[in-house]
Amino acid sequence: MIHTELLAIKAIPNPFIADNEYKVQWVGECDWIYRTTFRVEKVQAKYVLSFDGLDTFTKIYLNGALIGETENMVRVSVFTRQQIEVDEKILKYDTDNVLAIVFESAWKKGKALEEEYGKRNLWNGDSSRLYVRKAQYHYGWDWGPVLMTCGPWRDVRLEFYTSRISDVYVTSTLSEQNTNADLHIEASIEHATTDAEVKFVVTSPSGSPVKEIVSKIGNDSKAIATISIESPALWWPAGYGAQSLYTVNASIVNKTTKIHSVETKYGIRSVRLVQRPLKDQPGTSFFFEINGKRIFCGGANWIPADSFVTRITDEKYEQWIKLVSKERLDKELGSLCILIDDFL
């Protein structure tokens, strides 16, 4: 994030001291360029530039060629990271490649959008924020300052592969008495070869093997498997039981060769929203049952632990989550900025 970069070289004062917040407002009104170089060796593979988080309006250049644009800071999670397949005609081998990302001022872009589409009502902050897909607290909130950041706020990587699993999606069906469960597993494959298959391996929360199955890759580039489990270990909300998690491993295999594998965790549970007519009054009930048991849902809003989220360490997240769990709050709501990976 640009403010942390400027703080590191003492180009701006600490915005959390005295009235320094007002002295750094110029930062959010400027465009900024991040630039780096890297080298690669030529191999027979697909090259992909993966951006886990860019804030917000960007133009991405590789060796002077425009290869992508973004306008969404919160397009980031294990499901929606920005990926750009690199044209081999642009990529250079055994010499420096120059990656440059131009970050346009979100403040100015938002003002231009508001001018085009009209001003809308809101309860706090600058109204132009409603047109910008960016963490809204950057515009100021009742608990925090106005700090219009920009820059990469998650990892940027060059990936290369011949064939890979892009996603593993797991769902489950639990019997009424919780005595049996079916795991439904779907793996999405990129650039699958004709003789490749996908091997699924499920391991119990205790680490013992449950089942292994090999599935063919369909014409839709997906491999599907259903695995039945007797007397499954169930996932429960905090305070109601253990958070038992099964390990699901999916691997692309070509005869005896493992090409790529992805591993994920999954908790077997049933979730039901109960809305029944109320006796002698209008409306319905509204509560959840987990694994057939009524659950009290205590909720709280999560606000970022720092205005600059790149400064928050894994250890800091863990401390906050442990503190929340002690208060028997069953759910954290990531407000204003999507931080889903940090909670998994």
For 103-149, the pLDDT digits (tens) are 999 999 999 999 999 999 988 889 999 999 999 999 998 888 999 99
**Chain centre distance of CA 309:** 14
Q: How far apart are CA 94 and CA 136, in angstroms?
A: 42
What is the per-residue pLDDT across 143-196, written as a single tens digit (0 to 9) for each? 889 999 999 999 999 998 889 999 999 999 999 999 999 999 999 999 888 889
Q: How far apart are CA 178 and CA 291, in angstroms?
A: 7
pLDDT band at 337 (very low <50, low <70, confident <90, very high): low
Query: 151: which strand partners?
Result: 55
Residue 134: name the closest of 107, 160, 154 by CA.
107
Contact 134, 55 (CB under 8 A): yes
pLDDT attached to residue 120 = 94
Look up tokens 């013992």; give the residue.
208
pLDDT attached to residue 28 = 97
Above 60 in pLDDT, residue 335? no
Six-digit token string for 334: 């990531």
pLDDT attached to residue 174 = 96
Contacts of 210 (CB under 8 A, 6+ apart): 202, 203, 204, 227, 229, 246
CA dihedral 154, 157, 162, 163 (to 10 degrees): -10
Amino acid at 47: Y
Q: What phi, psi does 164 have (nearest 5°)?
A: -155, 160
Q: What phi, psi does 48 have (nearest 5°)?
A: -135, 130
Instruction: Specify the length of the chain in residues.
Output: 344
Q: How far is CA 312 from CA 11, 55, 332, 339, in A?
A: 21, 17, 17, 11
Above 90 in pLDDT, residue 273? yes
Six-digit token string for 144: 């925090």
Six-digit token string for 260: 């790529």
pLDDT band at 300 (very low <50, low <70, confident <90, very high): confident
- pTM greater than the 0.95 cutoff: no
**Chain centre distance of CA 147:** 23
DSSP type of residue 321: H
pLDDT attached to residue 286 = 94
Contact 47, 85 (CB under 8 A): yes
What is the per-residue pLDDT across 204-253, written as a single tens digit (0 to 9) for each? 999 999 999 999 999 999 999 999 999 999 999 888 999 999 999 999 99
Contacts of 289 (CB under 8 A, 6+ apart): 270, 271, 272, 274, 295
**In what order do the strands lie in the sheet containing 180-190?**
164-174, 180-190, 222-230
